[in-house]
Amino acid sequence: MKEKVKELIDNYLENNPALFLLDYSLTDDKRIRVVIDGDQGVTVEDCINMSRAIEHNLDRDEEDFSLEVMSAGVSESLQIPRQYKKNVGRKLHVTTTSNNEIEATLSEATDEAITLNWKVREPKPVGKGKHTVKKEAILPYGEIAQAKVMITFNK
């Protein structure tokens, strides 16, 4: 059944190229869970349509199952390069594998790494006081333990 579900998911995504799969699972008690994301986000209709594409092609008389199709939550970590690419320009909270934390704007995302930019106040090299310094970090995906989009509310 797992192969059939994966085939149905792949077929649906092939016909809807703006959407992509983040995760799917099938438990021993036949609970199917599918998590999708999209280049322009995911609508309720996207989830309903994918659910129908799966459910209408599985025989409930043959297999009893429950099906849950959902979008990646706003509090979920980014997992794949395509998610980073769709969030270029947004502020991220990144924890590296060496436990450094960075809050910065995602300025670029490639298939290998991301580029983060931020400003920090540092002591002046000469004299008293502080000045604002622009910082940049290029992080390969393998060095990212966790990255979340920071939600900001404008007043």
Asked whether residue 76 is assigned to any structural domain, the reply reads no
CATH number of the domain to which 21 belongs = 3.30.300
- Report pLDDT digits (tens) over 102-149: 999 999 999 999 999 999 888 888 888 888 889 999 999 999 999 999
Q: Is residue 105 part of a domain?
A: yes
- The pTM score is 0.78
Count the neighbouring beta carbons within 10 Å of the beta carbon of residue 153: 4
Identify residue 133 by its one-letter amino acid code. Answer: V
- The CA radius of gyration of the chain, in Å to the nearest whole number, is 21
Work out the percent of the chain whose per-residue pLDDT is above 70. Answer: 99
Q: Do 139 and 97 share a domain, yes or no?
A: yes
23 lies in a domain?
Answer: yes
Range of the domain at 139: 81-149
Residue 154 belongs to a domain: no
C-alpha distances (whole Å) from 19 to each of 50, 122, 131, 134, 150 are: 10, 43, 44, 35, 22
Domain count of the fold of the chain: 2
Asked if residue 66 and residue 104 are part of one domain, the reply reads: no
Domain boundary (46, 71, 96) is at 71
